[in-house]
Amino acid sequence: MSDEKDDPLMVRAVEKAFRILATFDAANPRQTLTQLADKAGLDRSATQRFTHTLSRLGYLRKDGRTKAYELTPKTLNLAYQYTRSSPVVLRAHPYLSHLNRTTEETISLTVLDDTEIIYLSRYLSPNVLDTDVIVGSRLPAYCSAGGLALLSMLEDAKIEEVLDRSHLRAYTAKTIYDREGIWTRIRFVREHGFAMVEEQIYPGDISIAAPILLADGNVMAAVSLGASRFRYQADAMVQRFVPALVAATRSMSQAIPT
């Protein structure tokens, strides 16, 4: 973002249109023109042109009574096309599905996006864990199992940059969000090859994760296994699931092309 002003190939209109789409979230599912202009940092006239265009293209819908805009199902098209074309998602599928069947626990595939992880795939357990995480959900990297697994593979300076940009805060009474505590967990992953978190974001959740690497050593994604803390303690999770999880990620590392 900091180099955008110096980028002669940057099409500002496209960037502004996506800026408007990005303002919609769970807290703001419907917004008026004034609200959109304020959140997107655009003047009202420009916002009106962009919302009109996005509406004509089918990505926004305007409520005739309230005049508020909302996203349409068409916005799911990009995500759908990604999941059907991503080599990581496609190649990981049989391994994740097998891991889900053999462990009967929730298995997820995540990637790092700046300070957060994004869920690309999710295979639910019959012992459903009561969280609102779905494909496309984002969680902070510093206190999630997948995030710690991915951060551990970065250079120290890069990790510090990510933490500098992160909003470090407690989600539960057990969240570790101080720098020293985060680094302790990152060093654990580097030493043992997997991450473990307990009730860091959701009460009752316990998760483990391991990274998927390419042949050149670059991190691609992380696979996590989530379960209920009321069913497993940390030692039991490690003994029962870590060997299978690490074996699966190693196999995926070889199967996913560079």
Residue-wise pLDDT for 78-127, tens only, equals 999 998 898 889 989 999 999 999 999 999 999 999 999 999 999 998 87
pLDDT at 5: 66
pLDDT at 258: 60
Domain contains 59: yes
Domain contains 5: no
What is the 3-state secondary structure of the chain?
CCCHHHCCCCCHHHHHHHHHHCCCECCECCECHHHHHHHHCCCHHHHHHHHHHHHHCCCEEECCCCCCEEECHHHHHHHHHHHCCCHHHHHHHHHHHHHHHHHCCEEEEEEEECCEEEEEEEECCCCCCCCCCCCCCEEEHHHCHHHHHHHCCCCHHHHHHHHHHCCCCCCCCCCCCCHHHHHHHHHHHHHHCCEEEECCCCCCEEEEEEEEECCCCCEEEEEEEEEECCCCCHHHHHHHHHHHHHHHHHHHHHHCCC
User: Within this chain, do residues 122 and 240 fall inside the same structural domain, yes or no?
Assistant: yes
Report the predicted TM-score, pTM, of the whole model to 2 decimal places: 0.88
Bridge partners (DSSP) listed for residue 106:
226
Domain contains 145: yes
- Asked if 105 contacts 225 with a C-beta cutoff of 8 angstroms, the reply is yes
Domain count across the chain: 2
The answer on pLDDT for 11 being more than 90 is: yes
The answer on pLDDT for 1 being more than 60 is: no
Indicate which CATH number applies to the domain containing 164.
3.30.450.40
How many beta carbons lie within 10 A of that of residue 193, not counting itself? 16
- Asked if 139 contacts 107 with a C-beta cutoff of 8 angstroms, the reply is no
The answer on pLDDT for 68 being more than 50 is: yes
User: Within this chain, do residues 92 and 71 fall inside the same structural domain, yes or no?
Assistant: no
pLDDT at 238: 94
pLDDT at 52: 96
User: Within this chain, do residues 23 and 136 fall inside the same structural domain, yes or no?
Assistant: no
Q: What is the mean pLDDT of residues 58-64?
A: 96
What is the torsional sign of CA 62, 64, 66, 72?
negative
The answer on pLDDT for 49 being more than 50 is: yes
Structure tokens at 61: 């819908």
Highest mean pLDDT among 27-36, 76-85, 215-224: 27-36
User: Within this chain, do residues 155 and 117 fall inside the same structural domain, yes or no?
Assistant: yes
User: Within this chain, do residues 120 and 237 fall inside the same structural domain, yes or no?
Assistant: yes
Question: Confidence class of residue 131 from pLDDT cuts 50, 70 and 90?
Answer: low
The answer on pLDDT for 128 being more than 70 is: no
Which one is predicted more confidently, 91 or 159? Answer: 159
Domain hosting 125: range is 86-255
| Dist. CA 120–CA 147, nearest whole Å | 13
pLDDT at 172: 96
What does the chain come to in residues? 258
pLDDT at 130: 59
Q: What is the mean pLDDT of residues 62-74?
A: 95
- Asked if 131 contacts 197 with a C-beta cutoff of 8 angstroms, the reply is no
Domain contains 250: yes
Domain contains 2: no
- Side-chain half-sphere CA neighbours of 176 within 13 A: 17
